[in-house]
Amino acid sequence: MLERLLRSGLATAAGLLTGVRALWAEPPPTAPCVFYGNHVSHGDFVLLWAVLPPALRKRTRPVAGADYWDRDPLRRYIGRRVVRAVLIERERTRRREDPIAQMDAVLAAGGNLILFPEGTRNLGDADLLPFRSGLYHLAAGRSGLPLVPAWIDNLHRVLPKGEFLPIPLLCTVRFGAPVVLMPGEGKGAFLDRARAALLALKPVEAHRE
């Protein structure tokens, strides 16, 4: 009960603080899917998760680094119990589970994922960092899996690097048409196409590349 109340409060607070709105190119998917977005802040997954319809939000879990969320008891509680994150070890030498298997288990159970394929926060000048291969391996292991691009706009100004208190600003999450791995499509070509689909959602006037 407490975790449910905290989850609801987190979504409400994100909406009040940022006035965030969702713009959908197509109706939200009903089948298990992966929402993938740009990554500029620790609050990215909260904003994306908060704008999902309640029924969809209930079965959607963010993918996050265990090294960050397992650092202390408070973060561990929030990561594992409140937001129900799929925590993966980013350092290969410390892994006891296969990250792809961890994520696929959620999809197999009918859940959704929030994934940031850049792998780390983008604090540079490029719009997007190169995508890591996890998105491809999920798509390759589950035929027809919808991968929904979601561009999170303005959050890097709400919670700049090194700041603890957020700045109230309006934010938008733009959801594009799902991307699906095509038969015979190679990893490089697929990741380039998925990256382009996400980048296409960024407002033209805000492009840095």
CA 70 remoteness from chain centre: 19
Q: Are 37 and 48 in contact (CB under 8 A)?
A: yes
Q: What is the DSSP secondary structure assignment for residue 92, as one 8-state letter?
A: G
Residue 168 reports pLDDT greater than 90: no
Give dist(CA 127, CA 22) in Å, integer. Answer: 20
Give dist(CA 75, CA 86) in Å, integer. Answer: 14
Please give the pLDDT value at position 24.
96
The more confident residue out of 123 and 2 is 2
Please give the pLDDT value at position 157.
54
State percent of the chain over pLDDT 90: 54
Amino acid at 54: P
Q: Are 43 and 155 in contact (CB under 8 A)?
A: yes
* Pairing relationship of beta strands 172-175 and 147-153 according to DSSP bridges: antiparallel
Domain boundaries, the chain: 2-62+94-202
